[in-house]
Amino acid sequence: MNVSREKVKKFLLFLLSHHTEEYAHRTLKVRFRGRELRLCARCSGLTIGFILGIIVQFYVWKWLYVPEPLAMLIVTLFLTPALVDWGTQSVLGRESKNWLRVATGCLLGFGIGFTRFIELLRLLLLVSFF
């Protein structure tokens, strides 16, 4: 099996950014070892928010217990901005900015961190609703 270096490069670019070159403006440029990497802006924010959410829960709020209905409300509130941003972009054709994608991704990631307070079945129902 002979795979060209160019095909591997395009595959890795798509894997990290989730966008074709046509939508490269929706990615963040990161320089690493003299090379340019493109990372999906919303996914980068999601990762940062998720890590921050885990840190806050286990080191700051480790004593906190959130009842499940309140946790579902919090998760829904944190998911909504990303859903609205993505939805208006996809359906209405509005062009978002990377800072907004990163910010809504952070909220989304932080909200996902709160799912530890929700029973798995209810979490799956909540996710399938969105």
Residue-wise pLDDT for 74-118, tens only, equals: 888 998 999 999 899 889 988 889 899 999 999 998 988 777 656
pLDDT at position 64: 72
* Euclidean distance between CA atoms 10 and 15, whole angstroms: 9
With beta carbons less than 8 A apart as the criterion, state whether 83 and 20 touch: no
Rounded to two decimals, the pTM is: 0.72
Beta strands in the chain (DSSP E): 27-32, 35-40
pLDDT at position 103: 96
Cβ atoms within 10 A of the Cβ of 6, count?
Answer: 8
Tens of pLDDT, residues 12-32: 766 666 766 667 677 778 887
